[in-house]
Amino acid sequence: MVPALFVGFSALLLVSALLVVLHRNPVTSALFLVVAFCALAGIYILMHAEFIGMVQIIVYAGAIMVLFLFVIMYLNLGADPERGAAIVMRRLVGWLAGAIVVAQAVLLLAGRWAIGPAGPPLDPSVGNTQALGVLLYSKFLFPFEITSLVLLVAMVGAIVISKGRGGKPNSSPDPSPEATFMGAGDARVSPMLRPGDSITPAASIAPAGEESP
Amino acid sequence: MIPQDWALLVSALLFTIGVVGVLVRRNAIVIFMSVELMLNAGNLAFVSFARALNSLDGQVIVFFVMAVAAAEVAVGLAIIVNLFRLRDSVFVDEINLLKG
């Protein structure tokens, strides 16, 4: 039963991962990526990594994919226009490199190899989540604290980067002199905040000491 | 009981699909999704080795990889949004500001 389920989840995982790569519409790619992550969570649960499987669904299929879909729809991306000789060349090189990587993996797996000495069997009376929690707060306490620092830095960095620096340096079709930190690019992305609409005067949004073009 | 070779083979194939996606596609968001596929292939290998070695350390590493992946996606998507404001495009072959 378990090997059959593993083969089924693996087939679902690989097919949906291929469709992520091959489909031309980014929204469809993102939705196939959700399917791939859920299949991977099923594989984790089959391998008795129940906590990791649940975290996979919550973090990957939940949070990260919502972020992807939000950005795709915010940028209003359609299907990719792909034509020309360069794309044929790139496809050729890409599939060739993929064939090399998979040949290497098969050669490594077919060769002589063995894993190290296995530890004693895990205590079946302790749940997976409890055992992971004990390990996380004893042996891996310092990396765990560093992870919180990484998340904090990423949060601040994402806010600062996506806040932008103001106007567009390249030739803008609509030079708006009152472009503040909301930027001329914002007006195109979200037409509800066009500076001429005067919901709020754009100059009053900008903080006083902020850099302005 | 799942043979470990199968899990490692699935992991290798998933990693290959991620590599091909990074090389073939020109949409920066789809390239990011392919990077996520490669991270997940690594996670699958970690979990399968943790299972084979009767150890939980691999699962803890997977937990850390997930946290780093979440941070990476947040920063990367912010960069892509900023790039789209700057160039009106998310196609990586049109981002050639450094070309002389």
- CB-based contact B89:B28 (threshold 8 Å): no
CB contact under 8 A, A60 and B10: no
pLDDT of residue A163: 82
The answer for residues whose C-beta is within 8 angstroms of residue A52's C-beta and 6 or more apart is A44, B43, B47, B59, B62, B63
pLDDT of residue A179: 47
Report the residue from B57, B60, B74 with minimal CB separation from A67.
Answer: B74
The DSSP secondary structure of B27-86, one letter per residue, reads BHHHHHHHHHHHHHHHHHHHHHHHHHTT-SHHHHHHHHHHHHHHHHHHHHHHHHHHHHHH
The three state secondary structure string of A92-122 is: HHHHHHHHHHHHHHHHHHHCCCCCCCCCCCC
The list of chain A residues with pLDDT below 50 reads: 171-172, 175, 179-180, 183-190, 210, 212
CB contact under 8 A, A143 and B26: no
Asked if the C-beta of B41 comes within 8 angstroms of chain A's C-beta atoms, the answer is: no
Taking CA atoms, A64 is separated from A58, A133, A163, B81, B85, in Å, by 9, 23, 20, 16, 22
pLDDT of residue B93: 80
Q: How many CB atoms lie within 10 A of CB B82?
A: 17
Report A:118-137 residues touching B (Cβ under 8 A): 118-122, 128, 131-132, 135-136
- CB-based contact A56:A40 (threshold 8 Å): yes
Report chain B residues whose CB lies below 8 A from the CB of A143. Answer: 64
Asked if the C-beta of A73 comes within 8 angstroms of chain B's C-beta atoms, the answer is: no
pTM: 0.80
Report the residue from B4, B48, B67 with minimal CB separation from A151.
Answer: B67
pLDDT of residue A184: 46
- CB-based contact A82:B94 (threshold 8 Å): no
- CB-based contact A97:B20 (threshold 8 Å): yes
The list of chain B residues with pLDDT below 70 reads: 100
Asked if the C-beta of B94 comes within 8 angstroms of chain A's C-beta atoms, the answer is: no
What is the predicted ipTM?
0.92
pLDDT of residue A8: 94
